[in-house]
């Protein structure tokens, strides 16, 4: 599929999604973002050894997609990402997408306050330079507050969507079995 995605940047530079260097960038950015989000907003943050294991497991997929010299430890992941910094710059298209997702997301009005809290918490995980490139609000002093709000929101969503959560299940009652991808006893 990657071989079909080719084009040129607005500056006229050619690109191909099958380029091992671009595949590596996408892999590194995704792996770090998912790991960072899990560490801040997940129910059970990973230990340093588990973080390294995650990076090593994610590297298998990146190599299968064509990336080369993929990191298998968090320190290597961070070092390789830092190596990309000189190549990164915000574009008008990227800023337009960011503004669309932040100001006019395609979700119901009633859901927008919760969405705003989650997106603000996500932005608080980005380094200040990335927020500047995307022209999105950056008040690093508020980041801890925004991250705490994100933790509260994701915990609330988990609680609301997981009827098998131990906090909602009567003590001693085992989890209900899953039936065809759904939990039995759950009505829509």
Model confidence pLDDT, tens digit, residues 22-65 = 999 999 999 999 999 999 888 889 999 999 999 999 999 999 99
Are 104 and 155 contained in the same domain? Answer: yes
Give pLDDT, residue 188.
Answer: 37
Can you give the residue range of the structural domain that contains 81? 2-87
Three-class HEC string of the chain: CHHHCEEECCCCCEEECCCHHHHHHHHHHHHHHHHHHHHHHCCCCCCHHHHHHHHHHHHHHHHHHCCCCCCCCHHHHHHHHHHHHHHCCCCHHHHHHHHHHHHCCCCCHHHHHHHHHHHHHHHCCCCHHHHHHHCCCCCHHHHHHHHHHHHHHHHHHHHHHCCCCCCCCCCCCCCCCEECCEECCCCC
Low-confidence spans in the chain with pLDDT less than 50: 178-188
Are 73 and 32 contained in the same domain? Answer: yes
State the pTM of this model: 0.76
Give pLDDT, residue 150.
Answer: 83
- Which of 45, 65, 87 is a domain's end point? 87
> Would 176 be classed as within a structural domain?
no
């Amino acid at each position: 599929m990657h071989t079909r995605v080719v084009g040129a940047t607005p500056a006229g530079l050619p690109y191909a999604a099958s380029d091992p260097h671009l595949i590596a960038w996408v892999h590194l950015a995704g792996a770090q973002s998912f790991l960072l989000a899990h560490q801040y907003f997940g129910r059970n943050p990973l230990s340093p050894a588990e973080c390294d294991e995650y990076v090593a497991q994610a590297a298998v997929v990146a190599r299968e997609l064509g990336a080369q010299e993929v990191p298998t430890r968090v320190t290597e992941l961070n070092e390789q990402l830092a190596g990309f910094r000189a190549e990164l710059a915000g574009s008008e298209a990227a800023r337009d997408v960011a503004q669309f997702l932040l100001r006019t997301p395609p979700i119901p009005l009633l859901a927008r306050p919760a969405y705003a809290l989650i997106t603000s918490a996500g932005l608080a995980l980005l380094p200040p330079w990335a927020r500047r490139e995307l022209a999105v609000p950056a008040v690093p002093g508020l980041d801890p507050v925004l991250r705490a709000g994100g933790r509260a929101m994701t915990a609330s969503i988990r609680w609301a969507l997981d009827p098998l959560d131990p906090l909602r299940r009567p003590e001693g009652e085992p989890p209900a079995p899953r039936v065809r991808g759904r939990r039995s006893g759950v009505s829509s």
